[in-house]
Amino acid sequence: MNLSLPSETIFHAIESTIKDYRKFAQKNISEKIKDMTIDQGMVLLFLNEHPELTQKEIAELVFKDNASMTRMINTMVQKKHLKRSINSKDRRRYIIEITDKGKDVLKTLPPIIHQNRNSSLKGITKNELNQLEIILNKIRTNCAKT
């Protein structure tokens, strides 16, 4: 069996890329906002655009499971970025609101993220990005098949 080493595969390149981007982005966030992780920032961005999202839905968007999301939101409530209240329409869910402190973060965060995205994609054409997305989608589709 002549198998290339994991480090020589495209999967290694993919994983390495996202980890490098996360490190880069986290560093730039931490310089400006204390005690704020990328994942927490993403939760704020999602809730800001879609306040009706359930914890389960947010979890999926940021690649966590339900249990992790419960705990993540607990800490964000403790840190006073979010407020949880009962949803009388469906008492299994919560209404999750962004507090004033959370809104302050939402003033500072977007320009940093914008900058992170721009500088990490510098020199890459629109066409290349399209290509990249198409190929990644093929891989995802293949992995979804049994």
**Which CB, 78 or 118, lies closer to a second copy?**
118
100 to 46, 58, 65, 77: CA distances (angstroms): 16, 20, 27, 12
Give me the residues paired with residue 97 across strands.
83
- 56 contact choice in a second copy, DNA, none (CB below 5 to 8 Å, kind-dependent): DNA
Q: Tell me if 88 contacts a second copy by CB under 8 A.
A: no
Q: How far apart are alpha carbons 120 and 96 in whole angstroms?
A: 32
Identified binder of DNA from the candidate list 15, 20, 52, 90, rule CB under 7 A:
90
Q: Single out the segment in contact with DNA by CB under 7 A; choices: 42-50, 60-68, 103-111, 117-125.
A: 60-68
**Positions of E strands within the chain:** 82-86, 94-98
Tally: H helices and E strands in the chain: 6, 2
Q: Tell me if 74 contacts a second copy by CB under 8 A.
A: no
Interacting residues with DNA (CB under 7 A): 37, 39, 54-57, 64-73, 75, 84, 90-94
